[in-house]
Every structure is written in C-alpha cells, then in structure tokens.
Amino acid sequence: MGCEVVPVVPVRDVDAAVVWFTGVLGFTEDFRWNAYAGVTFGGARLHLNGFAGHDDRIGKSQAYFFVPDVDAVFARAVAAGAAIDHTLGDQEYGMRDFSVRDPDGNRFTFGTETASEGDAEQAP
C-alpha cells in the first residue's frame, strides 16, 4: 500500500492564496471547499487552510520542491513579482535552488539537483 504526505499550510485568505500559488508559481487548483483548497505543482500537492483559529501558525510553514527546471520556475516567480527570499544559485550541497515567500510569509524553496548522487555531502 502506498502513502502520500500532503503538507497543510495555514493562510489568512484561501482565495488570495490560491490566486498567488496559481498565478505566481504556476500551481494548478485541485479543489476548494469553504476556506480550504488543494493546489498541485507537478506531482507535489499542498493544502491551504484558511479556516480561523490558527493565526499563531500563519507564516511559519516551509516546503522544498524538487523540480526538473528550477531556472524556469525562478524566471516565472520573478516575472510575477514574487518576494524572493533566497536568490537562485548553485549550492555546495548539490542543488541549484531559490526560496520565495508567499504573501503570508510562508517559505517555499525550489531546486534542481546539480551534483550526481554521492557528490554532495548532504542535501537539505
């Protein structure tokens, strides 16, 4: 039996979050139910929780997405005016990556492997 993990990200406004993820980063919307929505990027999924009662957790989430072409994702994010938290670059841990913050302050990093397996000491 397989297993899938889907991170749940607390957001202030689920409608605004869906617009940001789809418009800025190129996610697709999977579903929406009241103040809860699902978005997908490639094979990775996130759930966005806009229900009240979790204000203390907003802006504290983060996720790392392994993508085949990080340069294209970065170009799209920059063109859409995303808040770049860590600019695109080759890292000594064998990844080419960048980080962006959503309007709620959550951090999302996108990266492509640059070193062959075993070359990097430890990936994030």
- Whether 47 is covered by a domain: the verdict is yes
Tell me the CATH number at 96.
3.10.180.10
Residues 6+ apart with CB under 8 A from 35: 14, 49, 50, 51, 52
**How many domains does the chain divide into?**
1
pLDDT in tens, 67-116: 999 999 999 999 999 999 999 999 999 999 999 999 999 999 999 999 76
| pTM, entire model | 0.86
The number of angstroms, rounded, from the C-alpha of 111 to the middle of its chain's C-alpha atoms is 10
- Whether 27 is covered by a domain: the verdict is yes
Q: 106: domain range?
A: 8-52+61-113
pLDDT of residue 121: 52
Residues 6+ apart with CB under 8 A from 116: none
Q: Poorest-confidence range of 17-26, 55-64, 90-99?
A: 55-64
**Backbone phi, then psi, for 84, in 5-degree steps?**
-75, 125
Q: Inform me whether the pLDDT recorded for 19 exceeds 80.
A: yes
